[in-house]
Amino acid sequence: MSTIQSLKNFIRHGKQARAGTPHGEPTTNVTAVHVERQREPQSQQPQYAGFGGLDHTAAKYDQKHPQPSQQESAATVKPSRAHEQEIEQIVAEEKLNSSTMPSYPGLERWILLKKMGDGAFSNVYRARDSTGKYGEVAIKVVRKFEMSAKQRANILKEVQIMRQLDHPNIVKLIEFSESRQFYYIVLELCPGGELFHQIVRLTYFSENLSRHVIVQVAKAIEYLHETSGVVHRDIKPENLLFYSIPHVPTKNPKPPVPGEEDKVDEGEFIPGVGAGGIGTIKVADFGLSKVIWDSETMTPCGTVGYTAPEIVKDEKYSKSVDMWALGCVLYTLLCGFPPFYDESIQTLTEKVARGQYTFLSPWWDDISKSAQDLVSHLLTVDPEKRYTIREFLNHPWIRQTNEETHAAEDAPH
């Protein structure tokens, strides 16, 4: 496996800072919405609103059942019994799936449609509101009878934080309730799924699309830090969800770069709308979030590849850890792989602690100096010198101005 492929694999798998949790418990609480993309192969992920989803299904069907030749009249071609049996089987499976959805006391309002995934103590379902108020949602059913008192407290803390949040770039908590054995967390369903899959699909994002994505994430972080006093502590591509938009093919496509002949066309970028089928971004998964306002904490958490040096060094840290993670995400969007990677968790931790990364050639050769300078100010080891959210949003690359920019003092050369 090539180094770059390993880097791309790391975007998905990462290395958790808190290893060895009991019963395979993940170090972060997986939110109901993004479990869908973690547990299902991409070919099986649900498609929505006709934004390209039907094309894949049609192509797959055509490969198995070729169309009649031009000499044949379409009117004379009739479905074979095998085709009819295949359709009947699909219908039967759908009926069986719907009939085998479990029934939970206290969830009578919600019609469970499909199991989307599961966690150490939970199952996640796509569901429909029988009252019609919310349409489709994601419901995380947590088996609290299997959890310790501390784990139950963490769930309630996550819910309490999400209850106070109301921002267009943050997944909304719709409802929380419980029965004797279960917690029910009803969340906004983002039909696009995880941003991670789009990085894999597109290989990397253009600077325009990267800016479109990262500004929305930054606006969410600004709200968390300055309005809610919350530090997220687990910003990464898997925890960024999105709403799909129609794909607009590029009007004047450029010749493919050598070695990138298979790169998917991102399409035309529409300011304020997006590109590549990616529209509104939503920050999800507040399982590791904490209300700290201007205080500091020392709790180890997060995914090492996106975790700030002060965390891996067990030092006190503050909200600036989210700015480091923002830099890791921006780096990944622009080139397709994360800034810090190693198969060894110990070596990876040492690289993060030292801020040891580089703008690898040829992947960064065509990326603007302004974008590289901004990344360097986010991936600054000293949290006192690291960009704040205000400095980030005021950077020339974000504002799309031609002002001269300068790299951070510890930027790679």
The token pair at 324 is 């480091």
Q: Identify whether 362 is preceded by a cis peptide bond (ω within 30 of 0).
A: yes
- The Cα–Cα gap between 273 and 393 comes to 19
Do 371 and 50 contact (CB within 8 A), yes or no?
A: no
C-alpha to C-alpha distances, 195 to 153, 185, 211, 262, 329, nearest whole angstrom: 29, 22, 14, 20, 11
Nearest alpha-carbon partner for 32 in 101, 126, 107? 126
Nearest alpha-carbon partner for 245 in 191, 171, 169, 168? 191
Angle 87-139-232 from CA coordinates, rounded to 5°: 130
- CB-count exposure of residue 406 (10 Å: 0-12, 13-18, 19+): exposed
* Residue listed under structure tokens 């968390």: 224
Among candidate residues 234, 322, 342, 373, the one labeled active-site is 234
- Active-site residue flag, 234: yes
Beta bridge partners of residue 175, listed in sequence order: 186
- The Cα–Cα gap between 212 and 103 comes to 41
Do 242 and 278 contact (CB within 8 A), yes or no?
A: yes
**How many helices and strands (H and E) does the chain possess?**
13, 10
Q: Identify whether 66 is preceded by a cis peptide bond (ω within 30 of 0).
A: no
C-alpha to C-alpha distances, 185 to 30, 189, 242, nearest whole angstrom: 12, 12, 20
Which three-class secondary structure state does DSSP give residue 211? helix
Dihedral in degrees, nearest 10, Cα atoms 61, 64, 69, 70: 10
Greatest CA separation for the chain: 76
Beta bridge partners of residue 257, listed in sequence order: none
Phi/psi for 170 (5° steps) reads -130, 130
- The Cα–Cα gap between 14 and 306 comes to 8
- The Cα–Cα gap between 338 and 317 comes to 22
Which are the catalytic amino acids? Answer: 234
